[in-house]
Each structure stands twice: as structure tokens, then as C-alpha cells.
Amino acid sequence: MNCQSKRQAMLSGAAREIYMLLKTQTADGLPLEGIGELIADNIDSTQNDEARIQYANAHARNDDFEKERLLILRRWSKFFEGKAPLTEETATSFIRRFLNNLNHRLLFNESITIGKTRFIVGESLLDDVISFYDSNRKAWTFQLTIEGSGSYSFGETIPVEPGTAILLAPEATCHFHRTLDSNRWVHYWVVFEPKPEWLELLKWPTLSQGIYKLDISEPDTISQIVAVFDEALKHKTGETPLTSKLHNNLFEQVLIRTSQDNKELNIAPFDLRIEKACQYLKENFTKNVSISQLAQHCQLSESRLSHLFREKMAISINQYKIHLRLQYAKQALIETNNPISVISDQLGFPEPSQFSKFFTKHAGKNPKKFRDDHTNS
């Protein structure tokens, strides 16, 4: 089989797999087997193959996934039900339609995920996929272009070249893709939940609401950052219980080096009142701490504390409380053999069923499956 035939067979096979997934499943239950080569060809990530596919599959742009699923099926069914030929061009168009419906709305299963994406004409199966980000996501995203050029649109359009870093806060709305006049766009990316002490490192020049840009001018700094990313890519997300801590450490180095290269940034000390609030919530995350109690502890009014907390942390107090509980639960499921009922009790849930419901809602899978997946990987 020559290269062209192999490419067509791979595209057709991937398209058929996606079609069958959409035909038989809903957003909450997409099986992840069968299209790894398609995603892996475009995404070089620290994640294992299943997680790479989840990166593409699990993040529907439309809140009403069922409506979007039916629209896609109606439009493309004739090509997969034998009523029209499934050509390479048709398969490519279908896959692009599917991928263009994706974004990062859902939080990754880890508190930080690091990867590298390559869109290269003639090498990647899909070199013109447009990624869409809508507001109200839970995670931040960092992207650093190292080859070629890309384009970000958010009312206006800006190009990015090697050395340009883009930061997308949870409230950002934009889409981005390889620029048409460049045959490639290669960039590192990080999807992460910021530590409180990182917030001052994330105060970059603003392009639009939740969208920030820095140009890294020193070649040595770029080389150092690339080396840090390459080190991170050697360790797959979820590979060991300590991998997430390693990734957080390496990414903190990236943020520090980026800030050092841009001396015009005014890095102020982190707000001690919010630091005090975060510390109190960390020490009492198994308890149902009210905003009133927290405000009294920080000697602020409830409204002032809520406003300051969201301003500094980019999430609400309740979202931060959920984050703390969820991260403890994930760590306990991965690093200990404690029964799920014990972990539920440690987190202050009256019944294991309530913990299971909480975990499934926020982690995307139930506690047993989460533990089994990490044990098997």
C-alpha cells in the first residue's frame, strides 16, 4: 500500500470510528478507543493515548451536545450508510467538522497537562483545524509558539510567531489556527489550575478579556523554556503519583523565566488577604466553610472578599472549594488503597453515594473508574 492509499485508509477508518461513536453514544459516554492515530498525529502530549483522544473527544463546544451530535449525523449519514462514496476529501471534511466542535470547556483529569501540537502541511493528517475556546471554562491555558505562525481571533485577529506566548484565562473567548501563509505551526501548551502564588506571574499585557500576550525576546530564554517543556514531555500525565507535582514544578519554572525576560512586568506581592483565605480553605476543605465564616476570618465583608477572590484567583470561592476537595480525592484514589467509603468520609461526605455523585460530576468519571484507569496506566 503506497503512502497515499495508507493516508486515505487511515482517514476513512478514523472517520468511520468517529461516526459510530457519535451514532451510538452521548457526550457523557464516548468510548475512547479506535481513533488514537488521528489525534496522536496532531498532538504530541504528556498524556497516554487514551487521554490524547479524550483531549479531542471530551470537550464539546456546544452545551447541547445531543443537538450538535444529531446535526452532524444528519448531514454526514449518507457517506457512512453506503448512499454516497466516502472519499479522502469527504473523510477529511467530516473529521474537521467534528474537531472544530471541540474546545477545552471541561477540566482535564489532572490539575496540569502539558503537551506539544504540530500543524504541518503535508505531514499532519489535519493541518487546518480551528480550536475554539468559550468562556466559563475552569482551567487556564498557556501556549508558546516555537515554529511557523498561528492566528488568534477574538473580535480582532493577531498573528503569533516563534517566541510569542499566549495566556488564556477561564473567561477568554477566542479561536486559533495555523495562518494560511505559513506551512506549519508548532506550539507547546499547558492546561492548568494556577496555584495562588502563580497569580501575580500571570499578570501579562491584555489583548482582550481573559486573553494575554507576551513576546519573549531573549533567544537563551526561549531555549531554556523549550528544554523545560521537553523534560516535561518525557513524563506522561498520570504516569506516577508524583508526575503532576513534577509538571507543576517545571511549569512554574516556565512562568518565572517568562517573567524575568519581561522586566517591564510589574510583579506585585500576592494579596495577603486572599492568601489567608486560600490557606484557611486548604486547612478546612473537609468542612462546609461558609463565605460568612471565611470573610470573618479574613476581616473583610462577604461581598468584598468574593470580589477580591475572583479578581485574584479567576474562580469563585465555591469553585476553589470544589477544586480542593477534588484534588484531594484524586490523590487519595491514586496514591492510597483506602476504600472509596473511607475517602468519602475523610472528605466529609455523609454518604459514599454523595461523594461518588460529586466526583463523577466534576472529574468526568466515577471514583472506581478513575482509580482503575490510573492503576492500569
| pLDDT of 165 | 95
Would the pLDDT of 35 be above 50? no
Q: Are 107 and 330 in contact (CB under 8 A)?
A: no
Query: Does an H or E element contain 10, and which?
Result: helix 3-24
Highest mean pLDDT among 58-67, 128-137, 269-278: 269-278
Per-residue pLDDT band for 106 (boundaries 50, 70, 90) equals very low
pTM of the prediction?
A: 0.61
pLDDT at 17: 76
Q: Which of 162-171, 194-203, 248-257, 347-356 has the lowest mean pLDDT?
A: 194-203
Question: Stretch 293-299: mean pLDDT, rounded?
Answer: 93
Residue 55 has pLDDT above 80, yes or no: no
> Region 5-28: what's the mean pLDDT?
69
Exposed/middle/buried for residue 237 (C-beta within 10 Å: 0-12, 13-18, 19+): buried
End-to-end CA distance of the chain: 33
CA distances for 16 relative to 37, 42, 299, angstroms: 13, 18, 59
pLDDT at residue 240 tops 60: yes
What's the pLDDT score for residue 104?
A: 44
- pLDDT at res. 356: 93
The DSSP output letter for 88 is: H
On the question of pLDDT at 204 being above 60, the answer is: yes
Percent of the chain with pLDDT over 90: 25
Contact 170, 137 (CB under 8 A): yes
pLDDT of residue 233 exceeding 80, the answer is yes
**pLDDT of 264:** 54
Confidence class for position 40, pLDDT limits 50, 70, 90: very low
Order of all β-strands in the sheet with 206-208: 43-45, 112-120, 184-192, 140-148, 164-168, 211-215, 206-208
CA distance 144 to 222: 9
pLDDT of the residue at 56: 42
pLDDT value for 105: 42
Residue 324, judged by CB atoms within 10 A of its CB (0-12, 13-18, 19+), counts as middle
Per-residue pLDDT averaged across 239-246, rounded?
A: 73
Report d(CA 202, CA 195) in Å as an integer.
Answer: 11
